[in-house]
Structure 1
Amino acid sequence: MTAHLGIPLATPYSDPHARAQDARRRVLDMALAMRRHGGDEPAHPQLGGTSPARAVEMFLALLQDRLPVWLHVLDDLLHLAGRGRVDGNLLPVARAGIAYYAEVQAAAMPAFVSPAVTVRFREALREAGLGPGVEIAPLAGYLAAEQRLGRVAPDVDPAATAALLLAGCFRHAYDEAFTGAARGVSRDEAAAGIVRGLRLAPDPAVLPAG
């Protein structure tokens, strides 16, 4: 089954440990590919004397640790279909997404000062199959499951809505990086606003009579 963005809707991993191991292996493959095709670029002053390739290695080391945890949060959603409230199920995901993106962005910003390294990273990302769809698919799968149960409005596009939630998390993390976490809304407030803005609830006027 595919969503409107052309992203396959997820089914839960039978073994969450296997999912985590697969994510770590893919990031490791990326690191090896970057090292194999990397050049000998000089250190950059803005990196404190570290080379761009070394900065990317440090970023990938963080990603290898954090990405499996984040994907586990997303994969677990599908098991909650039909339980609790949809917005209540999504709220911890939005909070976790903000925290994940804030940490990853902080490591990514100094890693991509070199256009050549950035191009190699994009190629390695594609080869490893770790594009945005890896995050969107399990979230879209959960929304589609809730939609089939009548708990999400029928006109909601699961994949587009999943992308919107993740984009909101990414944007808040991005804002924090420049304005500071102490300014503006808190992460909890931001997460609640992101979920509320999705407008997932079915119209009561069209719900079947109970």
Structure 2
Amino acid sequence: MATPQLDPYQRELDPHRRAQDTRRSVLEMAVLMKRQDGEEGGLPAALRGPAASGPAVDLFLALLQDRLPVWLKILDDLMHLVGKGTVADNLLPIARAGIDYYAEVQSAALPAFTSPAVTVRFREAVKDSLLGPTPEVGPLAGYLAAEQSRGRVAARVDPSASARLLLAGCFRHAYYELLVGAGSVPSRDDSAEEIIRELRLEPHAA
């Protein structure tokens, strides 16, 4: 799911301030999604009507406001591990936490986005609230670049692209687990190991 695209300066903020700003961004998005008809300039007439409210939407936004700051802190804390242990060992719990995060958020998102009107309102709120994937990709790419500068990640690796692939792998597992059931996909632990292994980040990886 989309997450707050906070300004670059926020990468330098202390964890408590960053968490507060993240929650505030999600709250602003919730307010925008609840605007009544007539307050939303460019929204097509066919998709106007009551505010995008309701228990399912409220639950999704409340869960995002609670879980997203924790998930971003996990990613930010990676920088404390630069040069320590192995890159694979450092990233493995990140992949596992990512699967858990996406599975939980998606389980709330699926029943919330059941109409075109809600989806359009969400997209408008994402744009107006500066939401997007940047806060997740940034910390991962920064960690990989820092390890690369120490020779612990292969020179051929693109840190930003690899960060996006790692997150995409976590999202995919979570989505398919919700779609077909946990018994029809690898375990979360096995999937996390596979995601990190197949990124082939370390210099000796083929």
Work out the CA distance in 2 between the residues paired with 1:11 and 1:114: 34
Which runs of no fewer than 5 residues in structure 1 stay unpaired?
1-7, 42-50, 205-210
Displacement after TM superposition at 1:13 (Å)? 3.7
C-alpha offsets along residues 56-86 of structure 1, whole Å, 9 cap, x if unaligned? 2221111000100100111101121111110
Matches within 5 A, 1:131-142: 131-142=132-143
Q: Deviations 1:32-67 (Å, cap 9, x if unpaired)?
A: 1111256544xxxxxxxxx96212222111100010
TM-score after normalising by structure 1: 0.83
Give the AA of the match of 2:18.
R
Larger mean Cα displacement after TM superposition, 161-170 or 113-122:
113-122
Count how many residue pairs are aligned between Structure 1 and Structure 2.
Answer: 189
Alpha-carbon offset, residue 131 of structure 1: 0.2
2:110 is aligned to 109
* Cα shift at 1:24: 0.3
Other-structure match for 1:53: 53
- Kept in 1: contact 2:153–2:202 (CA 8 A): yes
1:207 equivalent in structure 2: none
Moved over 6 A (4+): 8-11
Q: Structure 2 CA distance, aligned partners of 1:166 and 1:175?
A: 14
TM-score, normalising length from structure 2? 0.85
In the other structure, the counterpart of 2:180 is 179
Contact preservation (8 Å) 1:168, 1:194: yes
Q: Distance in 2 between matches of 1:60 and 1:133?
A: 19
Which aligned pairs between 1:1-40 and structure 2 lie closer than 5 A?
A: 13-37=12-36, 40=49
Gaps of 5+ in 2: 1-6, 38-47
Q: Summarize the Cα distance change of 1:64–1:9 in structure 2 as closer, same or farther, 3 Å threshold.
A: closer
Q: Distance in 2 between matches of 1:9 and 1:92?
A: 25
Q: Secondary structure at the residue paired with 1:36? A: coil
